[in-house]
Structure formats: structure tokens, C-alpha cells
Structure 1
Amino acid sequence: MTAFEGDFYGFHAELTDREAESVAEIRQFFETEVRPIATDYWNRAEFPHQLVPGIAALGLFGPEWEETRRFASSAVYQGWCTLEMARVDASVCGFTAVQSGLAMGSIGVGGSAAQRAEWLPRMASGEVIGAFGLTEPLSGSDTARGLQTSATRQGDTWVLNGAKRWIGNGTIADVVIVWARDTADGQVKGFIVPTTTPGFSATKIEGKLSFRLIQNADIVLDEVVVADELRLPNIRSFSDTATVLRLTRAGVGWLAVGNAIGAYEAALAYTRERRQFGAPIGGHQLVQDLLVKCLANITASLAMCVQVSRMLDAGIQRDEHSALAKAFVSSRARETVAWAREAMGGNGIVLDYGVAKPFADAEAIYSFEGTREMNTLIVGRAITGVAAFV
């Protein structure tokens, strides 16, 4: 597989031949099918549903689960898939991450064998679109203690009441994994909730300046009744929910790197062609300084993501490892897209030039899957032995 210019140290070389072949297929699809339409859909804040079959055919939904993977692969490969998607469009990558990592991941981690057999293949094919309903209007970083959505057992059913906010895929999903606190024991449990269930409603959040293709929703659960067979039996407390987030948080690091690489490569191409004072601006010292700072951030961030994924493969990754990666990489990505925009001058704020979209999308990446501050406290607790959470 030919390396792209953002992979300055050639990290792609450690992929197996089969993994490299699959990554090349993903790159080809995103370059030919996604890139030509992404800016238009981002500008209109609409989701391109026609892409779903192609994404599913590439095996991007659930590559880690035995029921849905095309071939056995490493966490590094799965991270590289995320990077390749985000390099072209972070929003489409985010949609895929919600479907595969959060929704399917919840069933993969918390579901019974029967639930996995029923839902994972249907979601892997794109027949069923999923969402992940954890964040609430008044509960984000403090979800572990502040989650208010309730679940009350009534015979063979559960009654769910509450509200969720910022739920990616929320208005286009067929099922939402709803996290609710059991009124009997106070523990957080997970439920597979079809969006056609009476009492369930989802309203699109309008006016976003970031991740505009993703259909984020405000969700209301008003006496929503679900059968006990839709409860995830292996989710018994918030610590089980955290297991899902631990797996996906590392993926957000890869997403951030891919988004930064997309901005860097657009700026690099621009500076080779744009002429000022009789020469390409890429030959100016200050422009080269901006580009090299971008590349240094990307290279350091990619190295961190690769190592965290190696640790995941080895079974030694802990919360603090993925938290440090997410905090560091999303911060460096924010710097990188700003420098890339700066290198392009005024054209950097125009969508057609390829940097404005990743520049805006970096803001969402910086906040979701744990803010920098919350991830910093996770790492701080690990290295000092003292929790500083309020």
C-alpha cells in the first residue's frame, strides 16, 4: 500500500498484507464516493444515506466481532480504517463509529449470544442503523453519577423515562442503545430500544458548526415499554458501560489524527500551487514552519494511537492509556487544523479548499468521548493514586 504524505514515519508498514489491502479499498471508496459529495452534504447538514451499503460492504461495521468480521484483524488495523475515513470526512467516519463502535459495541460487550446473533449481522450489513443513548441534557461528563433516565421493572418488561441529548444517528436510527438507572438497585443498565416504540421521540439538533453530516438528536423517553429480552444482560453497572467507552475512546484518537491529516494534506497541496511574490508559497520559510508543525503533531499523535492499539491487542490497555491518547491527540489536532488554515490564508475558510471542514470538525472531536479535562483527570488519578473528580 502506498503511504500518503501525512504518514511521515510509515506506520502503515506494520499492517499485514490482508489488512493493507482492505485499507487500500477503504481509501479508494472514500476518495471516489465520499470526497466528491462530502462538502455539499456537510454544508446542507444532511446525511448521505446512499453511502451506507458501500461502507457496509467494506466491513467497516463491526470488524472486531466474530459474528460480523470479514477476517481476523488487529486493533491497529481497525484504527487505521478510522483514520482513512476521517482523512476524507470526519462526519461519515463519526457515523460509522457510532454504528460500529458504540451501538454494535454495546451489544458485542453487553449482549447475550442470542442478541449478538440477532442484531450484529443486521447492523453489519447496514440493514439496521444504531445509536448510543448515554449523554443527557444535564449530564455529560458526570454521567456515571448524574444519569437521570430511569428504568423500572414491571413483570417481563421495563418502563423507561427520561431524556438524552447529542445522540449521534438519533433521527435516522432503527434502534438506540439506551442507558438508564434501575429504580430498584440504582445501577445503570442498557436496553436495545427500537425507535418505533410508543413514547420514543427524536428531534434533530439544528445549527451545528461541526460534524454537520451526523444527525444528532434530542431524545425523549415517555413511558417507553421494552421487553426484558431487549435488556443487555451483561451490563450490570456503569463500569460495564465504561468498558464500551474504553474501546471507542482509542478510536476517537485515530479519528482526530485522520481529520488533522486531511487538513494538512489539503494545505500542503495548496502551498505547492499557490504563488506569491513569483514563487509557490510552499517555498516561504514561515509557511514551511506551519506545515512542519502540522506534520510533527500528526506524527506524534499517530505514534501514540498505534501504541495504544497495540496495547489493546495485547490485552493490557487500561482507561488511562486511551484517556491520555484522546486528550493529547484531540488537542494536537485542534492546533494542526488551525495551522493548516493559517497556511492557506483567506482561502482556508472556504469549504471548497479542503481545510474549513476539518477545521470546524476538530471542535466536535475535541469534546466528545470525554473532554480533555475529564480525560486528564482519569490519567491524573492513575499516576498519583488520588482522584480529583468533584
Structure 2
Amino acid sequence: EEQKQYWLPPMARMEKIGAFGLTEPDHGSDAVALETRAHRVGNDYIINGAKRWIGNASFADVTVIWARDDEGNVGGFLVEKGTPGFNTGIMTGKVAKRAVWQTDITLNDVHVPVGNRLALSRSFKDTALVLTATRSGVAWEAVGHAVAAYEIALTYAKERIQFSKPLASFQIIQNKLAAMLANVTTMQLLCLRLSQLEAEGKMTAAMASLAKMNNARLAREVVADAREMLGGNGILLEYHIARHHADIEAVFTYEGTDTIQSLIVGRELTWMQAFSHR
């Protein structure tokens, strides 16, 4: 509770920025096998390891580093900006989500007080609770990309003249627009229902994974159709669709790949786990 009171109010006021450090250079989809270690010495934990793809970490006031303790249990540790041994480097060369600064982190004998361990982070199952929440958010993010792409395509089709008439007057274009709208509406309704379940405390990991999987897939399809509809103009930044086209590839992958989401849903359906048994 003290951690919440110290960090959450200033974060809500945008006076403090946080970051979430789970993914490692060698562990993405199998984050459960993370290698970063937190060794207890007296009243401190000493953390050693590396993280990758961590948004905001280069300037965040605090980063939650997920590490394995001496008993092998995964916990979250609050590492504050400026802590000796906590080093960051901004990743470059990205073609998607360029507005977000992803970071490589190295942790060399980083000392954090015992009180900086998140009180309810006792195993990777607790980490997974965070992923359930973020995956529901990514499902909504996919809706945003799809709606934007659909609206760009619709406006363009009405204004673009080819063969002496608007693109929108052609049957094949109207067919594409109708299919795009159907996908967008399906995505919106799924997110609406998921949000209702979340508000009632009934959202499960499989529900969030299903929404993320479905919406990222459909958004990818909608954005691709929109880019195609714009022809050569679809790769020009001034029409924005190229940015959505690049960004949706990141959305399709992060917070758990399409395949991982399907396996989480499959586990719920069959009660059999088809991936890591850690």
C-alpha cells in the first residue's frame, strides 16, 4: 500500500513516469524462463541481468524489473532512476512504433531495498495478471488502428477519381469497405464485452488473449486492405496509412504473439498446456 501511495498519485498527475521490465534479450514468448536474478543480501536485493524492448525505461522515474529470487520465484522490483548499476540504451532502427523509445537495460549489481519488492509478486502467475490487463488494452489499440485505416480508406475512395469516376463507385471497392467495416464492428463489440466483464471482475487471461489475438489479426487485415486501396499513395507518410501499416505489425507481436495467445486460449478450452511447463 505504501508503494501505491508513493508512486501512483504522481503518475496519475503525469509527474512521474514508470516502465515495465519483463522481456529479455533471450526470452520473449518464453518470458517465464527469465534469467535476471535478485539475490537477497541483508536488507537489500542485488539484481543482475538484462532486459530488452522496455518502453520508457531510458527516462522513467521507476522501472519494475521482473527477476527470479533465491528460491526461484519471479518477483517485481522497483528500481528507481539513477540507481548505480542500472544502465539503459535506446534501441534504434525500428520501422514501427517510432514514437515509443524502447530500451536495452543492463543490471550490474543493482542494489534495491527489500521494501522495493512488490508485495504481491510471488510467482510468474502474478506477473501474468499484469499481462492480462495489458492484453485487453492492446485489443483496444488494434481497434484504433483499424478504425483509422477504415476512415482513411473511405475518405480516399470517395475523393480519388479513376476512370472518370470516384473509386467508391466501383463494386470491388464497396465490397472491401463493407468487409472492413464488418471487421471493425466485430472488434469493437468484442472489446465492449471484454470491458464489461473486466468491470465486473470476471475477465480471465484467456478472454484477454482471445480479444488480443482476434483484434490484432483483423486490424492487420483492415490496415492491409486500406493500404492497398490507396495504391501508390498508400506508402506516402502524408496519407498516414503507411504508419498504421508498420505499427500494426508491432501490435500483432507485442504483449504476446498471435501464436502464444492461441495457446493460452487453447489451454482454457482443453485444460492441456501446449507450451512451457515451468
Q: Shorter-normalised TM-score: what interval?
A: over 0.9
Corresponding residue SS for 2:109: strand
Give me the whole-angstrom Cα distance separating, in 2, the residues matched to 1:172 and 1:338: 34
Give me the whole-angstrom Cα distance separating, in 2, the residues matched to 1:130 and 1:179: 14
Report the alpha carbon displacement of residue 195 of structure 1 after superposing the two structures with TM.
2.4
Report the alpha carbon displacement of residue 288 of structure 1 after superposing the two structures with TM.
1.4
Moved more, 268-277 or 329-338: 268-277
Q: Aligned runs of 1:54-133 on 2, under 5 Å?
A: 113-133=1-21
Which of the residues 47, 52, 57 maps onto 1:170?
Answer: 57
Give me the whole-angstrom Cα distance separating, in 1, the residues matched to 2:209 and 2:144: 18
Give me the whole-angstrom Cα distance separating, in 1, the residues matched to 2:247 and 2:193: 25
Report the equivalent of 2:250.
364
Report the equivalent of 1:81.
none
Corresponding residue SS for 2:65: strand
Give me the whole-angstrom Cα distance separating, in 1, the residues matched to 2:38 and 2:130: 20
| Structure 2 unmatched ranges of 5 or more | none
Corresponding residue SS for 1:191: strand
TM-score normalised per structure 1: 0.70
Which of the residues 260, 265, 277 maps onto 1:379?
Answer: 265
Give me the whole-angstrom Cα distance separating, in 1, the residues matched to 2:271 and 2:77: 34
Q: Aligned runs of 1:239-388 on 2, under 5 Å?
A: 239-388=125-274
| Structure 1 unmatched ranges of 5 or more | 1-112
Per-residue CA deviation, residues 149-198 of structure 1 (Å, 9 max, x unaligned), is: 0001111111000000000112221211100000x210001111112111
Give me the whole-angstrom Cα distance separating, in 2, the residues matched to 1:379 and 1:206: 34
Report the alpha carbon displacement of residue 329 of structure 1 after superposing the two structures with TM.
0.7
AA aligned opposite 2:39: T
Give me the whole-angstrom Cα distance separating, in 1, the residues matched to 2:57 and 2:165: 49
Give me the whole-angstrom Cα distance separating, in 1, the residues matched to 2:82 and 2:17: 13
TM-score normalised per structure 2: 0.97
Report the alpha carbon displacement of residue 256 of structure 1 after superposing the two structures with TM.
0.5
Report the equivalent of 1:141.
29
Per-residue CA deviation, residues 303-323 of structure 1 (Å, 9 max, x unaligned), is: 111111111112221111111
Q: Taking every aligned residue pair, what percent have the same amino acid on both sides?
A: 47
Asked if 2 retains the 8 angstrom alpha-carbon contact of 1:195 and 1:201, the reply is no
Q: Aligned runs of 1:145-164 on 2, under 5 Å?
A: 146-164=33-51
AA aligned opposite 1:138: D
Q: Which runs of 4+ in 1 moved over 3 A?
A: none
Give me the whole-angstrom Cα distance separating, in 2, the residues matched to 1:329 and 1:262: 14
Q: Aligned runs of 1:208-227 on 2, under 5 Å?
A: 208-227=94-113
Corresponding residue SS for 1:166: coil
What root-mean-square deviation, in Å, do the aligned CA atoms of Structure 1 and Structure 2 show?
1.0
AA aligned opposite 2:250: A
Per-residue CA deviation, residues 71-111 of structure 1 (Å, 9 max, x unaligned), is: xxxxxxxxxxxxxxxxxxxxxxxxxxxxxxxxxxxxxxxxx
